[in-house]
Chain A
Amino acid sequence: MSAVLEVDGLTRRFGGLVAVDGLGFSVASGEIVGLVGPNGAGKSTVLNVLSGVVRPDAGSIAFLGKSIIGRAPDRIARLGVARTFQPARSFASLTCHDSVLTSLAFGRKRLWGRVARDEADRLLDRVGLGRALDSLPGQLAYIDHKRLELARALALQPELLLLDEWLAGFNPAELEGGIGLIRSLGEQGIAVLLVEHVLETIQALCHRCLVMNTGRLIASGLPAEVLAEPEVVRAYLGEEGDA
C-alpha cells in the first residue's frame, strides 16, 4: 500500500498552548486509521491543519507526495482531501441533491449536467439518502445530516477522507450500517483518517490506531494492542483508573 498522507513533525500552537506537538504518521491508500484521545488532545486541530483551515507552525504534510502546507481549503479539497465536521455542516437552502452537486461541480473532475445529476443520485443512494433527494437539510434527521455531509465529501472523489466523529450519535443499527459504509470506502482504495471517541468502533473498523494526548502522539499500532497500553488507559481514565 502506498502512502497517501505523510505527516512529520507537525506542530501547531495557539498562543502558549501547543495543540499539536511534533506529530508524525502516515495513512496508506485503502487504510482506515483511527485518531483517538481525550478531549483537548489536539485531534480536531490535526484535521483542521490537514484540511487547510489552520497553518502549522512547523512540520511537513505530504499528500500524494506533494506538500499541501499553505494551500487554501478549497484547493486542498480539489486535490482530493475531503472532510466532515463535528457538528455536521450543511447548505440550508440547497436540496440534498444540489448540495452534492456543488462538490461534483467544483471537485476534481468538475462534473456538471446530466452526468453530475446521476452521480449525485448515486452517491446519496450509497449513503442511504436516496429517498431524500429533494429534501432540504432542515427536513432531515440529525443522522441524515451526517449522511449528506459524507455524500458531499465523496462527491469530491477523494483519495483521503477525514471524518470528525462521523459515527457519533448513531444508534446500534445505524452504527452497523455506518461502519459497513466506511469499510467499503477503504476497500474502494480511499485512505480514511477518522477521529472517534467510541473505542469499540475503532476496534471494529480501523486497521491502525493513533492515540494523542496533550498534542503528542503517545501510541500507534493495531487498535486492540494500542488501546490496552497503560499510557493510553491512563490518558483516558486518569492515574487512578481501573475500569
Chain B
Amino acid sequence: MIRRAIRRLLVVAVVGVIAALAWVPMMVGDYGLSFAINIASYTVLATAWSLFSGPTRYVSLATVAFFGIGAYSSAIFIELLPWPVVLLIAAGAGMLVAVIVGLATLRLTGVHFVLFSFGLAELIRQLVTWFEAKGTRPPGRYVFTDMTAAHIYWQLLALALLVFGVGILIGRSRFGLALQAIGDDETAARHSGIYATRIKIVLFVLSTVFMSLTGAVMALRWTYVDPTIAFNPVISFTVLTMALLGGTHRLYGPLLGVVPLALLLEYLVARFPNYFSIAVGVVFLLILYAMPRGIAGLVDRLVRKPA
C-alpha cells in the first residue's frame, strides 16, 4: 500500500520535473537557455555512453566520431530534405558505421578497444577533411535553419527522455543482465549461453545512435561546422569524464556528473579559456583516485544500497 503510494508520488514527481524542464526556455534568458542546451546535450551523450560502456567496461573514446557524423549529416542535408528525414539519415549513418566498427572491434578488449575507438574518431575526422578538400570546398559548412534555440533544447530534452526510457527498458530486460555479466567475466558469460558479441554490437549501435542524433541537433545550434569542431576529441574526453564522475553503474549516474562538470567547465571557459583541457584532465584524475564509483557510488553508500 505504502509502496504503491510512493510509486504514484514518484510518477507525479517525474512528470512534474519533465514539465518544468520543458518550461525552461520560457523561464530563462538566452544565456540560461544556452547553458540548458549544453546540459541536455551532454546528458544524452554521457547517458548513451554509459548505456554501453558502463556495464561492459568497454571504454570508448569514439563518442565524437558518431556525434560528428550526425553533425555533418545535418550540415549536408538540412537545406535539401525535411528535418525528420535528416535525423533519420544521421541515425542511419551513425548506425552503419557503428555496425561495421562493432563487428570489427568488439572482439577486442581492454586498452586495445580504447585505442581503436580513439583512432576511429581521428580517422573519420581525417576522412571528412580529405573528402571536403577533394570537393574543393572551403573547409567548413554553414547550417542554416529556422529552428530557434528553444526548438533545439526541446529536441535534446526529448532525446534525453528517450535515452533514459531505453536505459530503463534495458535494465529490466535480460539484456541488461547479460551486459553486466559480460562486463564482469565475458568467458563465463559465454558459457552461460549469452551471445556476447551480438549483444555488445546491438547495444553499441543503440548507444551511438543517440550520439549521432545529438550531433545532428547540435549542428543547428553551432550554425557552422568543420571537421575540427564536429570531431573535436575534447567532446569524447568530456563525455567520458562526466559519465565517470557521475557513476556508470546507475542509469542516473552520468546525469549527476554532467551538471557539476558542465558548471565547472562553463566557469573555466569564461575565466580561463586556455586551461580548459587541463581542468578536464585534473578532474578525471581526481575521480579515479577519490571516487572510482562516481557520485552515484557515494549516493549508494549513503543509502547503504549494494550496487
- Which one, B180, B183, B190, B249, contacts A77 given CB within 8 A? B190
How far, in angstroms, from A99 to B195 measured CA to CA in the complex? 16
* Bitwise interface map of B from 190 to 233 toward A, beta carbon under 8 Å scored 1, else 0: 11111110000000000000000000000000000000000000
- Contact A77-B192, Cβ < 8 Å, known A93-B307, A106-B174, A136-B306: yes
Are the CB atoms of A105 and B188 closer together than 8 Å? no
Closest to A79 in B: B193
- A-chain residues with CB within 8 Å of residue B306 when the two chains form the complex: 136
A residues 88-117 with Cβ under 8 Å of B? Answer: 89-94, 98-99, 101-103, 105-108, 110, 112
Are the CB atoms of A74 and B177 closer together than 8 Å? no
Q: A13 near B: Cβ within 8 Å?
A: no
Are the CB atoms of A106 and B191 closer together than 8 Å? no
Q: A72 near B: Cβ within 8 Å?
A: yes
Closest to A80 in B: B193
How far, in angstroms, from A112 to B176 measured CA to CA in the complex? 13
- B-chain residues with CB within 8 Å of residue A108 when the two chains form the complex: 193
Are the CB atoms of B195 and A91 closer together than 8 Å? no
How far, in angstroms, from A67 to B192 measured CA to CA in the complex? 20
- Which one, A53, A75, A102, A155, contacts B181 given CB within 8 A? A102
Are the CB atoms of A93 and B194 closer together than 8 Å? no
B293: min CB distance to chain A, Å: 11
Are the CB atoms of A85 and B193 closer together than 8 Å? no
Q: A73 near B: Cβ within 8 Å?
A: yes
- Which one, A51, A94, A110, contacts B191 given CB within 8 A? A51
Are the CB atoms of B185 and A91 closer together than 8 Å? yes
- Can you list 21 contacts pairing A with B, beta carbon distance less than 8 Å? A73-B187, A77-B190, A78-B193, A83-B191, A85-B188, A89-B185, A91-B181, A91-B185, A92-B184, A94-B177, A98-B177, A101-B177, A102-B178, A102-B193, A105-B174, A106-B178, A106-B195, A107-B193, A108-B193, A136-B306, A152-B188
- Contact A90-B188, Cβ < 8 Å, known A105-B177, A106-B178: yes
- Which one, A72, A75, A93, A156, contacts B192 given CB within 8 A? A156
Q: B149 near A: Cβ within 8 Å?
A: no
How far, in angstroms, from A77 to B184 measured CA to CA in the complex? 18
- B-chain residues with CB within 8 Å of residue A73 when the two chains form the complex: 187, 190-191
Which residues of chain B have a CB within 8 Å of any CB of chain A?
A: 174, 177-178, 180-181, 183-185, 187-196, 249, 306-307
Are the CB atoms of B180 and A152 closer together than 8 Å? no
- A-chain residues with CB within 8 Å of residue B194 when the two chains form the complex: 74, 102, 106
- A-chain residues with CB within 8 Å of residue B193 when the two chains form the complex: 74, 77-78, 102-103, 106-108, 156
Q: Other than A105-B174, A107-B193, give 7 A-B pairs with Cβ distance below 8 A.
A: A73-B191, A74-B193, A77-B192, A102-B177, A102-B192, A103-B193, A106-B178
Are the CB atoms of A74 and B196 closer together than 8 Å? yes
Are the CB atoms of A91 and B189 closer together than 8 Å? yes
A50: min CB distance to chain B, Å: 11
Closest to B175 in A: A105
- A-chain residues with CB within 8 Å of residue B249 when the two chains form the complex: 93
Closest to B198 in A: A74
B306: min CB distance to chain A, Å: 7
Are the CB atoms of B185 and A90 closer together than 8 Å? yes
How far, in angstroms, from A192 to B177 measured CA to CA in the complex? 28
- Contact A94-B190, Cβ < 8 Å, known A105-B174, A136-B306: no
Are the CB atoms of B174 and A93 closer together than 8 Å? no
B201: min CB distance to chain A, Å: 14
- B-chain residues with CB within 8 Å of residue A83 when the two chains form the complex: 191
How far, in angstroms, from A203 to B251 measured CA to CA in the complex? 52
How far, in angstroms, from A144 to B177 measured CA to CA in the complex? 21
- What are the nearest 9 A-B pairs in CB distance? A106-B193, A105-B174, A91-B184, A89-B188, A77-B193, A103-B192, A73-B190, A78-B193, A74-B190
Closest to B55 in A: A93
- Contact A72-B184, Cβ < 8 Å, known A93-B307, A102-B177: no
- A-chain residues with CB within 8 Å of residue B174 when the two chains form the complex: 101-102, 105-106, 110, 112
How far, in angstroms, from A107 to B292 measured CA to CA in the complex? 34
- B-chain residues with CB within 8 Å of residue A75 when the two chains form the complex: 195
Closest to A99 in B: B181
Closest to A94 in B: B180
B187: min CB distance to chain A, Å: 7
- Contact A152-B192, Cβ < 8 Å, known A91-B185, A93-B249: yes
How far, in angstroms, from A83 to B192 measured CA to CA in the complex? 9
